[in-house]
Amino acid sequence: MMGETTLLTHNKNEMRIHRAGYTIIFLFAAVYLALFISMANIPTCHGLIEYTTGISGALLLCFLFFFFRNPERTIIPDNMVAVAPADGLIVALEEAFEAEYLNRQCIKISIFMSVLNVHVNRYPVSGKIKYTKYHPGSYFIASYPQASELNEHYSTVIETPAGHSVLVKQIAGIVARRVVCYAKEGEQAIQGKDMGFVRFGSRVDLFLPLHAEVVVHLHEKVKGNLSSIARLYN
């Protein structure tokens, strides 16, 4: 069965920028503007150089707006379904032992986000946040299986109202150098709400109970909030 579409209350295409990009975009725009003004006031500066700098800076700024885009995808939470926490390609779907917190065999689903994907991470289920921890690490290519343990990442465990524990790992990649996670232990996670962001190419691993009915396939493309990942049964 392919990934099912969840029930949406809003799915707007209006341009919004994720808060993780505010500082980066502002600093780049300020530096770019200062550089362009400085070059314009240098008499010896050739017009072609000004033109090239202006075009390059504008293109980079457009890319930053594109990368930090945050499409509105508001859903009606469903405690029987785990939705995709990110946009991307499923690069792993297997049984694996989760040794950090759950200490048991789980269904592991890995979603690789290329630099062109929306990089907003969303809560796949609703429930109480039981655990969250930042792990410093390396920056191997995020699609490699070893990246789950060796790369910089954030781990978050959510316990659903039915008692299912779901672990989400936000993993940095070879270009990414910053994992942003807003989850706080003891707070309530609401399915589909903003969980965090990983900058410039990364991956999200989802560890589900073995009894979950997976409704996606390996190498399938999924979208955060728009695609169901698995059904959770009591």
CB 200 within 8 A of CB 91: no
Structure-token pair, residue 201: 């190419």
Q: Is 202 a catalytic residue?
A: yes
In angstroms, rounded to a whole number, what is the distance separating the alpha carbons of residues 98 and 17? 34
* Cβ(181)–Cβ(133) below 8 Å: no
Distances (CA, A) of 134 to 67, 142, 149, 152: 23, 17, 12, 8
Question: Which residue in the list 110, 155, 165, 202 is annotated as catalytic?
Answer: 202
Give the Cα-Cα-Cα angle 84, 89, 95 (nearest 5 degrees): 70
Burial class (CB in 10 A: 0-12, 13-18, 19+), 202: buried
CA distances from 181 to 3, 8, 122, 160, 185 (A): 26, 24, 10, 19, 12
Active site residues: 202
